[in-house]
Structure 1
């Protein structure tokens, strides 16, 4: 289910009152690949409900490139929402998930193993609300950038 950012805080309060443990992760999820699926499957194991924050098109352009995303935010949200591991999806506008974390107040904040607590921008916000951070090992060789580069290599010649 895709939840509007305006409703996510109240929605999470209802989940918590019903005794659900909430995990939150986020990303652009542009050109979804098996690495994303593996990551989300592992993230789901950490809690009763997995909420995935999808960076808006505007925020992806700000932190990745003005050429990204390839897939528009509504399509990315629909695709991620239809993966087995994902319970809820929300699109957010900022380049970091701090404001989303303030609304969701997850029990577990899940990020890729390419981060540490020292390099993760959202660490202080997660800890402020009593959440724990779980890092998941990334699938080697799987990245949207690699896919884009392979397409360019094959078709640009």
Structure 2
């Protein structure tokens, strides 16, 4: 052991994720894509990502930027900054690549990555899943994964606020 700290985490650009996906497809591997906030990482997140990865050979995850989260969830979110959330997701064995996106939806990332499988939680209505048309137009599929009951960042935050 050298005692040296590892270099700081750097999420991939969207273009770099697209290149990773293209390389994986050229190797004959099925690329799975999902996105989310992943604030206050908990077992529900981990199990969701493991289920997503089980749908293919490699998992690319797009993490909502802080600005995107504030626009979608309000000014008090996220608790954990975007780069830290992305670093935690990237450290999971089931995840192959991570990027951060700034838009309200991951539509542009999905167009760039062109995944074979798009995964979202079963709490999303099938016709409301952003990127569905993009994936299905190229012969891919959309999978809705059951959300682990009892795990929710919002619920965790409510418990913390109630205890103070």
Per the TM superposition, whether the score is higher than 0.5 is yes
Which residue of the partner structure matches residue 143 of structure 1?
Answer: 152
Q: Is the 8 A contact 2:17 2:98 kept in 1?
A: no
- How far apart are residue 59 of structure 1 and its match? 0.6
Shift of 1:98: 0.8
Whether the aligned pair in 1 keeps the contact of 2:11 and 2:83 (CA below 8 Å) is: no
Contact 1:96 1:122 survives alignment (8 Å): no
CA deviations on 1:93-150 (whole Å, 9 max, x unpaired) are 1111110110111000000010132222332222233320011101111100000000
Aligned residues: 155
Corresponding residue number in structure 1 for 2:78? 69
How is 1:1-157 mapped onto 2 (pairs within 5 angstroms)?
2-155=11-164
More moved, 59-68 vs 112-121: 112-121
Q: Aligned-pair distance for 1:7?
A: 1.9
Task: Report the TM-score, using the length of structure 1 for normalisation.
Answer: 0.93
Tell whether the 8 Å contact from 1:34 to 1:142 is kept in structure 2 after alignment: yes
Q: Distance in 2 between matches of 1:51 and 1:143?
A: 22
Structure 1 residue 85 displacement after superposition: 1.1
The whole-number CA distance in structure 2 between the counterparts of 1:85 and 1:36 is 12
Structure 1 outlier segments of 4+, above 4 Å: none
- RMSD over aligned CA atoms reads 1.3
Q: Structure 1 stretches of 5 or more lacking a match?
A: none
Report the equivalent of 2:5: none
Provide the TM-score with structure 2 as the length reference.
0.89
